[in-house]
Amino acid sequence: MSRTLIRNVSAVLPGSTVLSNVLLENGKILDVAADTHASADELIDGSGLHLLPGVIDDQVHFREPGLTHKEDLSTASHACAAGGTTSFLEMPNTQPPAVTMEGVKAKEQLAADKSLVNYGFYIGATPDNVEELRKATDVPGIKIFIGSSTGNLLVDSQEALERIFAETTLPLCAHCEDEATVRANAERLSGTTDIADHSRIRDHKAAVIATKRAIDLATRHKHRFHVLHVSTADELDLLRDTAPYLTAEICLHHVFFNVDDYPRLGSRIQMNPSIKTAADNAGLWQGLLDGTIQVIATDHAPHTLEEKAQPYPQSPSGLPAVENSLALMLNQVVAGKCSLQQVASWMSDAPARVWGIIGKGRIEAGYDADLVLVDLDESRTVRDEEQHTKTKWSPWHGETLTGWPVTTMVGGSVVWSKQSGFNESHRGAKLRFDHSRGGYWNTPDGIGT
């Protein structure tokens, strides 16, 4: 039996922030209001700090297997730990793609050997693997690329989509950009080398058409569906009053960057879906605040700077973000634009509920001790050379943020701290999923244990 007492800390609970002593035992939260002198094997002084549930990033591309010159599960999980992310859900478009349970299990084994934090892996849909998707179990859900993919992961035909929504039971999520619209825009702008044309090719219309199509499928088939990386304010009207089947998320690059940043950042902010306008930034932020959007994720998808430096359109889409996502949101808290409770909801509790991740997302007795201590007074400048991601760059390079993680715990063990660095002996665990609990709209009190 091992006990840790985090003493005199401001704990961010589901409904309040309280100055308390949080007692951990054998990897779980035993008490959120323990006695100051409770028996413990280890004491952590939380004076002046806030304790949040660890971030659950439900959309990452960690590139292993197949593209490990960009990232791998070891480097990515180090970046997670340093940024306060204690669990990730990784997408299937690796090489080979994870479109069978055998492929998913192979990735789980890689993570068991390499990852400092907890992990789960989506199974990917293809136009003809419905039987495999029907057999899939113990995964967060099924990922569909309705536009913007390569190989056999693009699922654009209505017949194939109808079968997936009708014949499978796992929660679904999708990249929503209309392939026909994107291709027509690309043909119209053929020959361009202007990076700003990326947002004209992958325009508002492409996003809205695909999102509307997916919402229609989900509501007709009564199938739980999560809209990934909403990029336009236009999509918000489609997403309002869509319980109990629909949830949605934004990624921070769609909130903090827009087309006016292309001259400064170029392909560093080239993403699919594309960066949109300042009005979209404002609309998406409002969508978070009013509850239309439930989840914040990163879509962490690194490429080397050499790859990014290729002239458009040879430059690939994608950017690294797991290392700075929590700090970006803490900076918003310090600026008075949102609360710590909202950040904990968007980045921890909501993704746990959407994907039925057992025992995660809250500071509550019985939940897993996946926690992050943060210092809201610390200011630090994001620098490329200090990033732990293998690609060693960030689109937020040079920006000074206030509010940073100082200690990250996974299963009650410190996996990273500002003072002592990484605990290289620790390995995260495979996440456990229970989809029978009904997802986000049916678990207002958390996913439980």
- Tell me the pLDDT band of 154, cut-offs 50, 70 and 90: confident
How far is the CA of 284 from the CAs of 17, 294, 296, in angstroms? 26, 11, 11
Distance CA 261, CA 259 (A): 5
How far is the CA of 307 from the CAs of 190, 193, 274, 367, 394, in angstroms? 21, 15, 18, 42, 14
- Each residue of 311-321: pLDDT tens digit? 999 999 999 99
Residue 264 is predicted with a pLDDT of 97
Identify the CA nearest to 395 among candidates 336, 317, 333, 311.
Answer: 317
In 3-state terms the chain splits into helix, strand, coil percentages (rounded to 5) of: 35, 25, 40
Torsion of CA 125, 130, 134, 139, to 10 degrees: -10
The domains located in the chain, with CATH, are 3-51+365-390+397-422 (2.30.40.10), 54-361 (3.20.20.140)
Residue 353 is predicted with a pLDDT of 98
pLDDT of 151 > 90? The answer is no
- Tell me the pLDDT band of 226, cut-offs 50, 70 and 90: very high
- Tell me the pLDDT band of 148, cut-offs 50, 70 and 90: low
Residue 243 is predicted with a pLDDT of 86
pLDDT of 152 > 90? The answer is no
For the chain, what is the mean pLDDT?
97
Whole-model pTM?
A: 0.98
pLDDT of 149 > 80? The answer is no
Residue 340 is predicted with a pLDDT of 98
> Do 354 and 171 touch, CB atoms closer than 8 A?
yes
- Tell me the pLDDT band of 147, cut-offs 50, 70 and 90: confident
Q: Write the CB contacts of 434 (distance below 8 Å, at least 6 apart in sequence).
A: 356, 358, 447
Identify the H or E element spanning 58. Answer: strand 55-60
pLDDT of 301 > 90? The answer is yes
| Structural tokens at position 245 | 């089947």
| Structural tokens at position 225 | 């569906």
Catalytic residues, by residue number, are 299
Residue 150 is predicted with a pLDDT of 59
